[in-house]
């Protein structure tokens, strides 16, 4: 019989529960767009599905750590490495998905593929450097019983600056898109894209807070904040990205 060991610390509960809620919302979001793409065969919605799965997988390791502590009272053996790998292996994928969504709604398609290829090359470089320096780049302190694993990137290693580069690069492109969009667009598309305009910087803020800003044990108490903020960001993307007939 399964016995729940409710010995979890208050802040760990907040950090873990917020990750669990984010994973659930992100999976629902992704599955919705997968189903809609299957019905409509419209490739426009692939980016939405990719974003949802990237967010869900990115926080699924921390969610499993949370569930392990809630159910057993401790982290299962081998879970720490799983948490670390998932936390940082989906950042480029999510960044490319956000960029693709924002570009489709805010910018002309002429240079989209070229920019995505450049971001893809940067992402490959990120993966190579990340896994080559993984033990030094990803900091994940040991935890006491009743606490979940959490992690962040070391400012002494290159992946830390590559994440900043991805986020800032997306921000520059996004700002350029907003300027063009507000000058040239009216009507329903303008109303729908406003939600994307609000959501995109929230995504960037949450990623940077969770990975390259809250980078010390003293900041662990605040990690639930960006995770909770990601949920309304996904909802805002849904409002701007949903099929017109809904």
Give the C-alpha separation, 128 to 85, whole Å: 13
The DSSP code for 139 is: E
pLDDT tier, 3 (very low <50, low <70, confident <90, very high otherwise) = very low
Split into its structural domains, the chain has a count of: 1
Tokens coding 95: 């960044």
Mean pLDDT, to the nearest integer, of 59-69? Answer: 93
pLDDT tier, 67 (very low <50, low <70, confident <90, very high otherwise) = very high
The residue with greater pLDDT, 43 or 202, is 202
Mean pLDDT, to the nearest integer, of 68-82? Answer: 90
Domain assignment present for residue 63? The answer is yes
Q: Which range, 41-50, 98-107, 178-187, 225-234, is most confident?
A: 225-234
| β-strands 138-139, 152-153 pairing | antiparallel
The whole-number pLDDT of residue 5 equals: 44
Mean pLDDT, to the nearest integer, of 39-51? Answer: 85
Nearest-5° angle of CA 19, CA 21, CA 8?
60
Domain assignment present for residue 52? The answer is yes
SS (H, E, C) 213-233: HCCCHHHHHHCHHHHHHHHHH
- Mean pLDDT (the chain) is 83
Nearest-5° angle of CA 128, CA 94, CA 119?
55
Domain assignment present for residue 2? The answer is no
Q: Are 149 and 59 in contact (CB under 8 A)?
A: no
Instruction: Give the domain extent around 166.
Output: 10-241
Tokens coding 202: 């929230």
Domain assignment present for residue 5? The answer is no
Distance of CA 190 to the CA centre of its chain: 25
Residue 101 has pLDDT above 90, yes or no: no
The whole-number pLDDT of residue 183 equals: 65
pLDDT tier, 64 (very low <50, low <70, confident <90, very high otherwise) = very high
pLDDT tier, 10 (very low <50, low <70, confident <90, very high otherwise) = low
**What is the CATH number for 207?**
1.20.1070.10
Crossing angle between the packed helical segments 10-40 and 46-58, to the nearest 10 degrees: 160
Catalogue the E-assigned strands of the chain: 138-139, 152-153
The whole-number pLDDT of residue 4 equals: 42
Give the C-alpha separation, 21 to 30, whole Å: 14
Q: What share of the chain is helix, strand, coil (3-state, %, to 5)?
A: 80, 0, 20
What are the angstrom distances between the C-alpha of 143 and each of 14, 17, 66, 167, 226? 16, 17, 12, 30, 21
Domain assignment present for residue 246? The answer is no
DSSP code string of 142-186: ---TT-----EE-TTSHHHHHHHHHHHHHHHHHHHHHHHHHHH--
Using CA atoms in the order 100, 162, 14, 3, what is the torsion angle rounded to 10 degrees? 90
The whole-number pLDDT of residue 245 equals: 57
Domain assignment present for residue 4? The answer is no
């Amino acid at each position: 019989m399964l016995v729940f060991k409710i010995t979890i610390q208050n802040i760990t509960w907040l950090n873990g529960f917020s990750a669990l809620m984010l994973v659930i919302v992100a999976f629902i979001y992704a599955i919705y767009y997968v189903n809609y793409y299957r019905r409509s065969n419209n490739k426009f919605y692939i980016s939405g599905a990719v974003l949802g799965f990237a967010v869900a997988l990115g926080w699924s390791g921390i969610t499993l750590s949370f569930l392990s502590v809630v159910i057993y009272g401790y982290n299962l053996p081998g879970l720490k490495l799983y948490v670390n790998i998932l936390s940082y292996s989906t950042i480029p994928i999510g960044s490319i998905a956000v960029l693709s969504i924002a570009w489709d709604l805010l910018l002309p398609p002429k240079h989209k593929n070229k920019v995505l290829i450049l971001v893809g090359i940067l992402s490959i470089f990120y993966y190579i450097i990340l896994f080559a320096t993984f033990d030094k780049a990803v900091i994940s302190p040991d935890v006491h019983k009743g606490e979940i694993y959490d992690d962040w990137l070391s400012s002494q290693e290159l992946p830390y600056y590559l994440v900043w580069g991805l986020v800032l690069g997306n921000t520059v492109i996004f700002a350029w898109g907003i300027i063009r969009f507000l000058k040239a667009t009216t009507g329903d598309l303008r109303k729908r894209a406003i939600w994307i305009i609000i959501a995109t910087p929230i995504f960037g803020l949450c990623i940077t807070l969770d990975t390259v800003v809250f980078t010390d044990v003293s900041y662990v108490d605040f990690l639930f904040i960006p995770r909770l903020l990601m949920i309304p960001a996904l909802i805002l993307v849904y409002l701007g990205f949903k099929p017109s007939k809904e």
